[in-house]
Structure 1
Amino acid sequence: MRYMTKQRSRIPWRQVLFLFLLPLFCVGPSEQIRYSIPEEMAKDSVVGNLAEDLGLHVRDLLTRNLRVSAEKQYFTVNTENGNILVNDRIDRELLCPQTTVCVLPLEIVAENPLNVFHISVVIEDINDNPPHFNQNSIVLQVNELAIPGTRFGLESAIDADVGPYSLQSYQLSSNEHFSLMVMDKVEEKNAPELVLEKPLDREKQNSHVLVLTAADGGDPVLTGTTQIQIKVTDANDNPPVFSEDMYKVSLRENLPPGTSVLKVTATDQDEGINAEITYSFKSLGDDIGNKFMLDHQNGEIKSKGPIDFESRSSYTMSMEAKDGGGMTTECKIILEILDENDNIPEVVFTSVSSSIPEDAELGRVIALFKTHDKDSEENGEVTCLIKEEAPFRIVPSSNNYYKLVTDGILDREQTSEYNVTITATDRGKPPLSSSTTITLHISDVNDNPPVFQQAAYIVHVAENNPPGASIAQVSARDPDLGPNGHIFYSIIASDLEPRALSSYVSVGAHSGVVFAQRAFDHEQLRSFQLTLQARDQGSPALSANVSLRVMVGDRNDNAPRVLYPALEPDGSALFDMVPRTAEPGYLVTKVVAVDADSGHNAWLSYHVQQASDPGLFSLGLRTGEVRMARVLGDRDATRQRLLIAVRDGGQPPLSATATLHLIFADSLQEALPELGDHPEPSNPQVELQFYLVVALALISMLFLLAVILAITLHLRHSSIRDSWGCFQFGICSKTRPGVSLNYNEGTLPYSYNLCVASNSQKTFNFLTMMPEMVPPQDLYNEASLIQAPPNTDWRFSQAQRPGTSGSQNGDETGTWPNNQFDTEMLQAMILASASEAADGSSTLGGGAGTMGLSARYGPQFTLQHVPDYRQNVYIPGSNATLTNAAGKRDGKTPAGGNGNKKKSGKKEKK
């Protein structure tokens, strides 16, 4: 048999719509749901449809995790259809002993959102317990003088069922002396009594045996029997009398065993044995018999076992006083148990979030728990608090339920988990408390961008590095977890060309290692800057940028390059004329070389490898200046050859060579015989005469050809008379006129660039241009090398000059500038000045103190801002040797004005 009932308040029909909408706005139904079921139902029996009664959708039951929260799981919820089912055997007599109405309260918990519903299940009784007597036989002593109508109390039968299934009636076996009467005595139970109907005669029958049957109201009826033995005794006409019909005593729980609870007193007016009274309990259940004990002689009741208010709050018992004659009387005793604060409150968590995101909003529900205290009144009133400091707080809910919510900012990087201890304390005196600790894990969100270990990176890479080598590594840290902390690196900007960036460098996406994709060249690229980005894999992704400066260092990979003396395109070499009267210290010429490297790798030194006469000349180690070491002797050859090696300061050093052809002569005519390439003559006077004759013949022939050509041109172009000032025959002869015709400085005002034939006939084809043949106006029209006196505005003191160019008279102890900017500037100026000097495309008079560099570097680039590097430039055929003063170059003014540079007669023999 299964049934259920629900108690609801009456609702007018006009509020039907409001009742349908009410579950959307309320935490739970406003009415109490009550089900009624019989005890001993089979497992999985349906109690009722909980989802329908609570107004929940069946499809939401699984996601909301609808369940029953109880200490003993008598019921469970089927999440497929919302039915509440029986989960365990229900024995009403164990749950609600001797209680008319047995109500089992249940708490239904639903999540997402979190709600608690309270329902009640009424456990109805079934007839599963027959009536029974505590004793199988009852012995009564009845005095033979007992008058008819005398009553004798009997032990009541016990039936654990209630209502109609409880004890309903008694039936006594038939006899002529006794009848049965049922009276309402203790706790509204039917107490049977024997009534003497006919006087007894002990002499006729001294005992009687009766059978008492107890029946309940079930269908079928269940019964229990006991045997009554009646012994007829002698006359005792006064029963004992108690001082009170009912005793009521209040006791505190947890009394020590043996504590006196109550002492009852009964008196009997009879004498002798009929007045001796003994006390005993009647209808004493096991529970009372285990808790209390009785002194049968004096009627004192003492505690026997622990008395617990939470198990039972009161005890009701019947005590019988019997005299020696067998007459008895009864009284009722009620023991009320007073509560003591002897139970610690408990905290029970019904729901706890597995993890909490660190960006959780304030007030977010983290856990749901309830408190339970078996004590009553103030002893059972509980308050909860969090023991340690944590960003959480407790919010009371209902029916001893509490919510644990966030109350502060969470940061997983600072605290990844919290051990929250919740302490529950009651209001007893003294108060009792208990603590429960839960661990709350904080989950990560992408709230931290990557952070580089350095604000900026600068790396130095030597040039000629192998392609694919790692040149740097950047590292960023992200304290987030998982993809939020997984960093990828990339290059997002550079001062290189966007199309060329990938051919220079790349970066490892996971490692942050920067690789060189090609070999760097310091001479082409000194430095470049990259902007690297570190980006995590969060959503949305966070990033950070850092600057990486790559400095390409120099290596000695460029050999020195000789700017002067330089070979002509046809392979011929220039020669320099030296006056025969040149004294020691006279500046003969200067080797000019540059090195594309930087620093010590570009610090050049000059060395004589081969020399026709090693003791005749001296060479400046750092300046490259060739000076006379002694006066030319009569036995010395007039034609000298020097092989100069130019080495840089790298490790290992690189070098280049330059060949100098020097002819000692006071005039061009004197030097012409030396232009031929022949073995050393045995008689120098004869050789000189030979060359003089050949030179005079050639000059005469050339002069005649020039006059004929001039007349022819004059006849054809009479309007261009001015063109007589310059002749060009299509051969290799070149003239470079100067402004001043001063021959007193020891060198010719311009160089003779002569093409010397390389055949074995040693024929010469050249044009000799004397200064008188050049019109003055043409001297200014061509880009010529101006022979202006040195300007004192750009001269530096000895202390201001660097060692390589500021040394006077070939100082060998100068040092190369350590500053890279000065070094590079020095190289640039040497290259620019030497190029101008070599090709005659610029002048020294480009401006005061500018060394003719104004047109190249702008007006702001003056010698007031850089050291004096012009001594490293020697201008062939010019008397403007860049030293402190013209007079100090050689120590004194040389005698004579001949010092012109000539071209060697043939190509230089290597």
Structure 2
Amino acid sequence: MLASGSGGQEVKRLLLSVMLLAASEAESGQVHYSVPEEAKHGTFVGRIAQDLGLELEELVPRFFRVASKGRGDLLEVNLQNGILFVNSRIDREELCGRSAECSIHLEVIVDRPLQVFHVEVEVKDINDNPPMFPATQKILFISEARALDSHFSLEGAYDADIGANALLTYKLSPNEYFSLEVPTNEEQVKPLELVLKKSLDREVASKLLLVLKATDGGKPELTGTTELHITVLDANDNAPVFDKAVHRVKLLENSRNGTLVIRLNASDLDEGSNSHILYSFATDVSSNTEASFHIDSDSGEIKVNGKIDFEETKLWKLQIEAVDKGNPPMFGHCTVLIEVLDINDNAPELLVTSLSLSVPEDAPLGTVIALISVTDHDAGGNGQVTCSLTPHVPFKLVSTFKNYYSLVLDSALDRESVSDYALVVTARDGGSPSLSATASVSVEVADVNDNAPTFAQAEYTVFVKENNPPGCHIFTVSARDADAQENALVSYSLVERRVGERALSSYVSVHAESGKVYALQPLDHEELELLQFQVSARDAGVPPLGSNVTLQVFVLDENDNAPALLPLPGAGGAGGAVSELVWRSVGAGHVVAKVRAVDADSGYNAWLSYELQPAAGGARSPFRVALYTGEISTTRSLDEADSPRQRLLVLVRDHGEPALTATATVLLSLVESGQAPKASSRVLAGAAGAETALVDVNVYLIIAICAVSSLLVLTLLLYVALRCSAPPSEGACGPGKPTLVCSSAVGSWSYSQQRRQRVCSGEGPPKTDLMAFSPCVPPGSSSGDSEEQRDIFGNDVSTVILEHFLCLLIMNGGGAEREGNTESEPDAGLELTDCEIVT
């Protein structure tokens, strides 16, 4: 790679540029190379990809890159062959000054996965700086009276190189008067000195010209020269002499102007003006010295006159002259070495390189977030820096190399708890007092779909009146997703199932976005009392997450069914007409017939009452009808004046709003004893037998009533105890405690039709139930009953016992009637399977 036509000197320099040493990995894990300074562009440094164990094919895909803090683009890597080469001029003296060690620290970063390597390239010194004297010439005035072996101080040369390249040797041009004395110690604290070997004679030689040559130890060697112009003077033969040839002083950096550094003292054996001494810096002193220090010419005091910075200059070497006022004047010299002591005046500097804008909340532990480098220009403990991170964050700092750190994930992240972190990295040095610097690092946590939509409740109860218009809105479900953006976008759908013979989607639908639930058709309480189904909520994440909520839609009854009359067993007539034979001899209160009716509705809408319509012409009828049982009985004893044919109209009314009615016609034939046909005799005999059986069963009824009442009181006490000891729980059909439907001051019962749908599940065989209605005392009324006399539903305990008694009475009465009417058909729909309270 040598250019044609280069001279021997250039050839030697270029040969030095290819001397490279590839170092093995150090204990810190770095790769070490070396390169000579002033190497040409393209000079081979090392196979960095191979030495780091990286394949050439993965350099570009893994974003192979090299970072060098504060070094510009001195070195570069060829991504095609993985070779590190010199990219621009490297000047060791510019990089490191006279430091014995000079290296360029590189950070090699590759992604997928992220790896950080540290490479150290040592810059080798070449002999590219010749020795330089402070001045090209120096003027000396020497009296002819000076004694032999007198010494005259000279300023030595300076070489910017280091090591052997800066090891100087001096040579004085041949002459008969002077020789050169070179100090032997390595620091060269003592100056070069001319030694007078032969007495001077101004009359023979008043001026002398000597050449001082300095040669360094490099190969090839470089030289520098200065001319010594010596003027031989007469008379004043005693030069000032300092008490010390070398003065060592320590001075704190940043000392204030006017701070005394040292007071010099020189003496002269002459008398008069020849012994009057003036102090000054040597004529060849640098401008920086005069800008930083001031010497008093009379007292010899040296004081601070400018900025003293340890980071710029650690050691000052001042050459001081003492001159007397003789004619000619005589000079004395000494050296003042000022060692600058470091103080902690530089805070650490932080540089943060972020590798990612956001971190997924499911990122694995150890994920590298950012790279941090720290520097401190102070020395010793003042320059030793430790880094720390703001506490209570799921991150930590890991030291990678000297003052380099990696910010890594230390514990699991949860965006729903904390969506972003504002971290503060603090770098603190070891000075006293210590100085610190901070840098802010913002880490955003990226969302992943780790939260399913959730409903406020696991189950909702909805009440809808039957006969609703199709498409009406009955409820709105809403689920919340703690994730963000698409992961929190919730859509709703029905969990399809069968409701009896039909699909759930034929009854209801749900809007996918709003969660509104609509009834697609009118609901019928008599067909479907409870519609239970589930709505599913799913988010838009990948994979999607979801949850379900249960809706219990109770269909509330409306009074849309009129009472329906039931035919009496063995009764004649058609439609609503009932025919019965009545003895004229019966007394008051005798039951002669009974009207039966049912209502397909429930609750108040199915609670029936019976009224006897006034007879035509305003005649008072000897019969009456029980308000709630429908039993027709005599109000007095029958006599001959009563018409043998009695036609009664019974109005059956429910308690809905508005009330619906039905009318039953009862035809009664009054007959005398012995005039009834045989069929009537059998009927009367059956009636008499029924009355006898009814008398016999009353004893059992009284015993049963007592047993049931005792059982009821025991049940109530047990229920109250459990209710006080445990919190209320929701029933299988929905929330809320059971309530008893109230009617009026006396109870009533109504046999309901068979249900097509089973409550709660919507399935199962139909059943026939007996709904019990108890009286309800309006709020605020003073009934005189104490609170202890009421059951858990607020009803009077005695009323409840009476209701159970009436219930058993009717049940047994129906049985007695069936026993008496042996030839009649069984009552349709009157079989009591259970007696339950409507909730």
What TM-score do the two structures reach when normalised by structure 1? 0.63
SS at match of 1:551: strand
Which of 309-318 and 208-217 deviates more? 208-217
Name the counterpart of 1:741.
682
Q: Within 5 Å, give how 1:29-428 maps onto structure 2.
A: 31-38=31-38, 50-52=48-50, 54-62=52-60, 63-71=62-70, 73-75=72-74, 77=76, 80-81=79-80, 93-97=93-97, 103-110=103-110, 112-122=113-123, 141=141, 234-282=234-282, 283-324=284-325, 325-351=328-354, 354-428=357-431
One-letter code aligned to 1:243: D
Partner Cα distance (1:108, 1:329) in 2:
58
SS at match of 2:652: strand
Partner Cα distance (1:55, 1:295) in 2:
65
Q: Any conservation in 2 of the 1:146–1:200 contact (CA below 8 Å)?
A: no
Q: Any conservation in 2 of the 1:349–1:369 contact (CA below 8 Å)?
A: yes
Name the counterpart of 1:655.
661
Change (3 A) 1:92 1:395: closer
Name the counterpart of 2:20.
6
Q: 2:570 matched to 1:564?
A: no
Partner Cα distance (2:129, 2:335) in 1:
30
Change (3 A) 1:99 1:547: closer
Which of 367-376 and 137-146 deviates more? 137-146
Name the counterpart of 2:523.
520
Count of aligned pairs: 720
CA displacement at 1:523 relative to structure 2: 1.2
Name the counterpart of 1:645.
651
Partner Cα distance (1:103, 1:316) in 2:
28
CA displacement at 1:603 relative to structure 2: 1.0
Q: Any conservation in 2 of the 1:178–1:198 contact (CA below 8 Å)?
A: no
Which of 633-642 and 290-299 deviates more? 633-642
Q: Any conservation in 2 of the 1:157–1:167 contact (CA below 8 Å)?
A: no
Q: Within 5 Å, give how 1:735-814 maps onto structure 2.
A: 741=682, 743=684, 789-790=693-694, 792=697, 795=701, 814=746
CA displacement at 1:592 relative to structure 2: 1.8
SS at match of 1:308: coil
Structure 1, residues 859-901: CA drift from partner, whole Å, max 9, x if none? Answer: xxxx9996444599799999669xxxxxxxxxxxxxxxxxxxx
Q: Over the residues paired in the alignment, what is the CA RMSD in angstroms? A: 5.8
Change (3 A) 1:505 1:383: same
SS at match of 1:320: strand
Q: Which of 456, 465, 473 in structure 2 is aligned with 1:453?
A: 456
Change (3 A) 1:167 1:795: closer
Partner Cα distance (1:341, 1:130) in 2:
35
Partner Cα distance (1:629, 1:865) in 2:
22
Partner Cα distance (1:498, 1:320) in 2:
122
Q: Within 5 Å, give how 1:463-542 maps onto structure 2.
A: 463-492=466-495, 496-497=499-500, 500-538=503-541, 541-542=544-545
Q: Any conservation in 1 of the 2:176–2:198 contact (CA below 8 Å)?
A: yes
Change (3 A) 1:95 1:266: farther
CA displacement at 1:541 relative to structure 2: 4.8
CA displacement at 1:447 relative to structure 2: 4.3
Change (3 A) 1:558 1:516: same
One-letter code aligned to 1:314: L
Q: Any conservation in 1 of the 2:207–2:232 contact (CA below 8 Å)?
A: yes
CA displacement at 1:606 relative to structure 2: 2.9
One-letter code aligned to 1:290: A
CA displacement at 1:427 relative to structure 2: 3.7
Q: 2:603 matched to 1:599?
A: yes
CA displacement at 1:391 relative to structure 2: 4.0
Q: Within 5 Å, give how 1:647-686 maps onto structure 2.
A: 647-662=653-668, 664=670
Which of 492-501 and 612-621 deviates more? 492-501
Structure 1, residues 556-579: CA drift from partner, whole Å, max 9, x if none? Answer: 111111223799999795544555
SS at match of 1:741: helix
Change (3 A) 1:639 1:612: farther
One-letter code aligned to 2:121: S
Change (3 A) 1:187 1:329: farther
Q: Within 5 Å, give how 1:700-715 maps onto structure 2.
A: none
Q: Any conservation in 2 of the 1:417–1:440 contact (CA below 8 Å)?
A: yes
Name the counterpart of 2:441.
438
Partner Cα distance (1:254, 1:298) in 2:
24
One-letter code aligned to 1:242: F
CA displacement at 1:456 relative to structure 2: 3.1
Partner Cα distance (2:744, 2:682) in 1:
34
Partner Cα distance (2:233, 2:139) in 1:
12
SS at match of 1:743: helix
SS at match of 1:657: strand
CA displacement at 1:527 relative to structure 2: 1.9
Partner Cα distance (2:77, 2:22) in 1:
24
Q: Any conservation in 2 of the 1:131–1:216 contact (CA below 8 Å)?
A: no
Structure 1, residues 220-272: CA drift from partner, whole Å, max 9, x if none? Answer: x9999999988775433333333333333333333333222233333334444
CA displacement at 1:377 relative to structure 2: 3.0
Partner Cα distance (1:647, 1:232) in 2:
155
Structure 1, residues 97-128: CA drift from partner, whole Å, max 9, x if none? Answer: 45687544444445533323131252767979
CA displacement at 1:553 relative to structure 2: 1.9
Change (3 A) 1:637 1:399: same
One-letter code aligned to 1:792: V
Q: Any conservation in 1 of the 2:22–2:46 contact (CA below 8 Å)?
A: no
SS at match of 2:747: coil
Unmatched 5+ stretches in structure 1: 11-21, 672-734, 750-785, 803-810, 832-862, 882-910
Q: Any conservation in 1 of the 2:251–2:339 contact (CA below 8 Å)?
A: yes
Q: Any conservation in 2 of the 1:106–1:121 contact (CA below 8 Å)?
A: no
Partner Cα distance (1:498, 1:179) in 2:
135
SS at match of 1:309: coil
Unmatched 5+ stretches in structure 2: 3-13, 710-742, 760-765, 772-803, 823-839
Partner Cα distance (1:69, 1:868) in 2:
105
Partner Cα distance (1:819, 1:167) in 2:
126
Partner Cα distance (2:459, 2:448) in 1:
28
Larger radius of gyration: 1
Partner Cα distance (2:640, 2:394) in 1:
109
SS at match of 1:38: coil
Structure 1, residues 821-878: CA drift from partner, whole Å, max 9, x if none? Answer: 99999994689xxxxxxxxxxxxxxxxxxxxxxxxxxxxxxx9996444599799999
One-letter code aligned to 2:682: L
Partner Cα distance (2:665, 2:154) in 1:
153
Name the counterpart of 1:624.
630
Q: Any conservation in 2 of the 1:830–1:869 contact (CA below 8 Å)?
A: no
SS at match of 2:532: strand
SS at match of 1:118: strand
